[in-house]
A = this chain, B = another copy of it.
Amino acid sequence: MSAQYGRNEHAVIAVDIVIFTLEKGVLKALFLEPNKPEYKNMWALPGALVHSEEGLETAVQRVLQEKAHLPKLLIDQLATFGEPQRDPYGRVVSVAYMAFLHEEEYAQYVQQIHEHKQSWLSVPTTRPLAYDHALIVKTAVARLRSKVGYTNIAQGLLPKHFTLTHLQSVYEAILGIQMDKRNFRRKVLEVKLVEDTGKKLTGGKNRPAALFAFSSKKLIEVSLFG
């Protein structure tokens, strides 16, 4: 890199990722074994230092691939954590991201990957986490709960096509509440969060459900609740 700015006297930057998924209606996130002896018997979020010529989102997707063996996912910047003592090994400021893996991808993933040094824990968790990762996870869960009410971010936790019942179950899992089926359906259609694909989910042992898709693939604001 060019070196008009000093090197040693300044803080360096990392990304850490809260990778969310749903497993049987329970919100979970991926944790890896920390590579620092201080933090043995704890779990840590996937993360890495950002290279000198690398964008933040590029670094996030690199970590997803190299450390979590996951494909490119929907990501969303969460916040930046920069307490001077957050990493005892040196001054590292962490830009935290959320990433979203839907349940069907997750099912494939857990079949393929057999590493011992990782775990999907339900969040928020009371297990001891390394660094300031408990704070990052807590912030991420709060942000997800908030954003699900005014954006289409839930699409990260659903496949391309899904039933309205499935969509509702995702909202209920994230918010931890039960919702009324009729009110929920009316609302998501009214605000054009999703649209009917015309397809049906057949092969179940009961009435086939209409399959829906999110109206926008980009993250946008869509006012649903509060």
Contacts and interface: CB of A to CB of B under 8 A. Distances in A.
Interface of A: 1-13, 49-56, 77, 79-80, 82-84, 89-93, 95, 223, 226
Given A223-B226, A226-B223, A56 B90 contact: no
Contact of A55 (B55, B77, B82, B226): B82
Contact of A77 (B52, B56, B79, B84): B79
B83 A80 contact: no
Given A11-B13, A82-B95, 19 more contacts: A2-B90, A3-B90, A4-B89, A5-B12, A5-B49, A5-B90, A8-B52, A10-B12, A10-B13, A11-B52, A11-B54, A13-B13, A53-B84, A53-B91, A55-B82, A55-B83, A55-B84, A56-B93, A80-B95
A129 to B, nearest CB: 20
A204 to B, nearest CB: 39
A150 to B, nearest CB: 8
B90 A4 contact: yes
A51 B5 CA distance: 12
